[in-house]
Amino acid sequence: MMLKRALQNLRVPSESKRKRISGTVYDKTCAIDLCAEASGAHRKRKREQFSIIDKNVKLKKQQTAKDSNSVDKRVASMDYISQLPDTVIHIILSLLRSTKDAARTSILSKRWRDMWISFSVLTFDQRTFQELEGVQSMENCNEVFKQFIDKSLQSHLDRKLGIYKFVLHLTSYDPALVHHMERWFGIATENNAKELGFHVHVKGTRRYILPKNVFAAEGITGLRLQGCKLETCSIIKLPHLQKLYLRNLRVDQQIIMNLISSCPLIDDLRLIQCSGLSCLDISSLLKLDRVEVHCCNVLKKIDITAPSLQAFWYCGKKQVSCKINLKDCESLKRLTLEDSRMTNNQFHGRFFSFPLLEKLELSNCLKLTNIRIGSHRLNRLVLRGCKNLEEAEIDTPNLLSFEYQGDKFPFSFLNPKCLKEVKLSFAPMEDRKLKLNLKSEPLWFPKLREFLGKFDHKGLKLVVRTSKNVIIHEDFGEILLSTCGGLKIEMVQSSVGTEELLDISLHKGHPQTLSIMSSSSSEFPKLVHEKIINRKEDPTCCTSNNPNNKCWRHFLKDAKMVNLKAAKGKNDSESMAWLKSRPNANEIACFRLDWKSDKDGRKASR
């Protein structure tokens, strides 16, 4: 088109002009040649321009790649962990379990070598220290331990470092340490320590007395005491204390009253295995958020008035009945009760007093027989070991999580469709104690199937485990329940990956079979087949040398897919024989699992 327009617009020179141009004849053929030549020259210039642009782009890409590689090399060679601020490193060290673990961080880099000595969260544990140092004599151990604490504290003073938390664990009674303890706690409080911990693990009647300067540490916000002796002290100056934990102490109402009246900001109070306290009365702590009372053997009455209380946990002794009165605690959201003497009426009186309750946990409540749990706010419910519970009506339309441990299924759910997480664990029962129906199943199996059948199966998978077999239900058409060993059922979201689902199914025990119930169009059995059959012989997923910390992949010796209808039944295991007897056995994808044995020839277990 461009050439046509050029020819149309081309003017042939006149005769006179042609004469002035020697050796040139202008006719239409010549014009075409000139136009083609011009067009070729134009295309050539364009190609040269594009060639230059391409070269520039390639040069830029090469330079970018070089820069990226150099950055990657710099990143790879850069020691980020050594560039962390001291405060961040101290927080990391504070999350470690012991001083021994903190000392091990010294191999990370030169900067970390002495960092654990300047650690602002100082925990000195005589048990782990003796293990670490290999000190045989108790007397020598105490002396070396004392010198170690002195050296660490002096290092802090020399470097002008603060102490955020000071914790002392003692395992033996030594009168020579009394003076040093008071000095150590004094140094901690003078350096603005926010949390103090004193834990005495000494058997016998001789106990360390808590240094008096602890009660004068006005800046501390947390105090944890265990196994020491508290002397009656009328002068307590802890105006900023928020967390108070007392464990294995002898206390009375007067000591508790003195502490509470002097610490108005307490929001977390925990009493664990404390003796001497018969009545706990709390009414002046306006910011109280959490209270825990565990195994206080003579405690007969708990009376708490706290409008801001969010969580209450009570674990009682079997021999003692305790009257619990939570006045004006209508903000309570989390309630945990482990009370073997609590009756049905007592439970109903406590439960329906808290309209905002979101989590309820009942453990070993042996006198509960017939209860009703109704709440529009409750989203998590846990029941464990309530052996005599015969009927529990549950009307909780917004319940998201349900966990149960027992030997039967005594529940009637009015609306369980919102549940996203279900964990059921049934203890194995002896055949002579089993009450069976016409299908040779426990009488409560139909009730359990009815409950499981109420869910939206499209978004869920069901894992049914016993000691001998695991069945993963993707299709809930017929739910297979076995009485072989303890029955455990877990409902998970369909979005959970195949590997994670196998971890859930095989993380405890080593079953003889793994089976899958799914539709014929499902790809899930193929994915499981790929993960199990094509697994690595020497997995590298778990680096720990402790067998208890390794996953099932390290113990699985062999796995084979089995056609239940075609397989011969002479040497079938009990679980395999049970699967073959199912009416829909041809719809089950089944894997026979063979596990490694230890030196004694027994099945390797964790």
Share of residues in the chain with pLDDT > 90 (%): 34
State residue 196's pLDDT score. Answer: 96
pLDDT digit string, tens, across residues 378-431: 999 999 999 999 999 999 999 999 999 998 899 988 878 788 899 999 987 665
| DSSP state string for 249-294 | -B--HHHHHHHHHH-TT--EEEEES-BS--EEEE-S-TT--EEEEE
Task: Give, for 305, the enclosing helix (H) or strand (E).
Answer: strand 301-305
Any idea where the domains of the chain sit in the sequence? 333-431, 440-536+550-605
Is residue 334 predicted with pLDDT exceeding 90? yes
What average pLDDT score do residues 141-152 get? 87
Task: Give, for 502, the enclosing helix (H) or strand (E).
Answer: helix 498-506
State residue 121's pLDDT score. Answer: 80
Q: Which of 195-204, 368-377, 378-387, 585-594 has the lowest mean pLDDT?
A: 585-594
Q: How far apart are CA 79 and CA 369, in angstroms?
A: 62
Report the candidate in 133, 95, 93 with the shortest Cα–Cα distance to residue 117.
93
Contact 293, 315 (CB under 8 A): yes
Q: Which of 52-61, 239-248, 414-423, 455-464 has the lowest mean pLDDT?
A: 52-61
Kindly indicate the confidence band of residue 31, based on its pLDDT and cuts at 50, 70 and 90: very low
Q: Which amino acid is at 88?
A: V
State residue 132's pLDDT score. Answer: 59
State residue 589's pLDDT score. Answer: 85
> Considering the entire predicted model, what is its pTM?
0.76
Is residue 66 predicted with pLDDT exceeding 70? no
Tokens coding 78: 């850069």
Is residue 590 predicted with pLDDT exceeding 60? yes
State residue 59's pLDDT score. Answer: 55
Q: How far apart are CA 38 and CA 78, in angstroms?
A: 59
Q: How far apart are CA 214 and CA 197, in angstroms?
A: 10
Q: How far is CA 18 from the centre of its chain?
A: 96
State residue 72's pLDDT score. Answer: 44
What average pLDDT score do residues 104-117 get? 71
State residue 15's pLDDT score. Answer: 44
Q: How far apart are CA 128 and CA 479, in angstroms?
A: 50
Between these two residues, 459 and 322, which has the higher pLDDT value? 322
Token pair 């689902």 is found at: 501
C-alpha Rg value of the chain to the nearest Å: 38
Q: Which amino acid is at 473?
A: H
Residue 135 three-state SS: coil
Report the chain's mean pLDDT, rounded to a whole number: 79
Residue 369 burial (CB < 10 Å; 0-12/13-18/19+)?
A: middle
